[in-house]
Structure 1
Amino acid sequence: MDVETMGPVDYLVIEFPGNRMTGEGVPLLLDLVERGVIRILDLAFIRKDADGTISALKIEDLDAEGAAEFAVFEGASSGLLGDDELREAADVIEPGNSAGIMVYENTWAAPLAMAWRRGGAQMVASGRIQIQALLAAAESSA
C-alpha cells in the first residue's frame, strides 16, 4: 500500500437488525469498486448476541444469499481492522444485530490528495455529517 498515492480512507459500520444481511446494496458497492470510485481495503462482519457476546463472522458464516453476494470481497484485509476496532464497532450496534465494517479508500480523490501533498499541504481533520443530522436540519428550517 503506497500511502503517498492514496486518496482519503474512510470506514463505515452498517448495522443489520435481526442479523439479516440481505446483500441488497452489494451490486451498488461493486459498481463503485469497478468504476474506481472506491477501493475496499478491509471488510469484516460481526454479530452481537442478545447477551452482548460479540463474535466475528466470516463470509461463509452468512446465509447462502449473503455469502454469495459478499464472496467477491473475501480476503479483503489490509490489517487496519483488528480486534480493538471490531470491539468498538460492536459498541455501537444493538444486541441481537449484526454489522458489516468496511474500510475503503476514496480513489476518486487520490489525484487531488497527491497534488495537495506535493504542495506541502496535509489533511488535519475530516468528518462526516450523519443523515439524521441533515434530516433534523432540513426539518428545522422548513
Structure 2
Amino acid sequence: MTLRALGDVEFFVVRLDTDHLSPHALEALLRQVEAGAVRILDLLLIRRPALQEFSLSEVDADEFALAGLGLQTPGIVCEDDVRHFAAALPVGSSAMLVLVEPTWAEQFSADLTFHGEAIMATQLIPAAIANAVLDATITTS
C-alpha cells in the first residue's frame, strides 16, 4: 500500500439492527463513495453485550468488495477508538464504526494551499444540535 497524506477525517457511529452490516448500510456507503463525497478509510463492527464489555470485529472484506466498496487504510481505527465509542452504545446494541475522509474537503484544502491560503480550523456540529438550533431560531422569529 502506498502511503499518502490524509485530509480531515470523521468517525461515524451507526446503530445497526443486527450484528452484521445490512444491505441498506452498504448501499448508503456505496452511494457516498460513488458520488465522490467520501473515501472509506476503515470500518469495524462494535457490539456491547454488557455494561463493561464490548467486542469488535473487522468487516468481511469479501462482502464489502461484493458491495463495490473497499477500505483505503484498514487497521487505522484502533481498539482505543472503539472503546471510546462503545461506551456510548446502549447495552445489547450493535453499531458500525466507520472512519471516512470527506473528499470534497481534501480538494478544497489543496486548492487553498495552492494559492498560499490554509484552513485554520473546522468544527463538526452534529445534525441533532444544528436542527435544534434551527428549530429554536424558527420559533423565535
Give the TM-score of the pair, scaled to structure 1. Answer: 0.74
Amino acid at match of 1:110: E
Q: How far apart, in 1, do the equivalents of 2:20 and 2:4 lie?
A: 36
Deviates more, 1:127-136 or 1:74-83: 74-83
Query: Does 1 or 2 have the higher relative contact order (CA < 8 Å, sep 6+)?
Result: 1
Which residue does 1:30 correspond to in 2? 30
Question: After the TM superposition, which segments of 4 or more aligned residues of structure 1 sit over 6 Å from their partners?
Answer: none
Q: Which runs of 5+ in 2 are unaligned?
A: none
Q: Kindly indicate which of the two structures has a greater share of residues assigned to helix.
A: 1
The alignment partner of 2:85 has SS state of: helix
C-alpha displacement of 1:48: 0.6
Cα 1:77–1:95 shift into 2, 3 Å: farther
| Aligned-pair Cα RMSD in Å | 2.8
C-alpha displacement of 1:75: 5.5
Which residue does 2:115 correspond to in 1? 119
Cα 1:111–1:130 shift into 2, 3 Å: closer
Give the TM-score of the pair, scaled to structure 2. Answer: 0.74
Query: How does 1:1-142 map onto structure 2 within 5 Å?
Result: 1-3=3-5, 6-16=6-16, 19=19, 21-60=21-60, 68=63, 72=67, 73=69, 77-140=73-136, 141-142=138-139
Amino acid at match of 1:45: L
C-alpha displacement of 1:105: 1.4
Amino acid at match of 1:118: F
Cα 1:112–1:99 shift into 2, 3 Å: same
The alignment partner of 1:139 has SS state of: helix
The alignment partner of 1:99 has SS state of: strand
CA contact (8 A) 2:64 2:70 kept: no
Q: Which runs of 5+ in 1 are unaligned?
A: 61-66
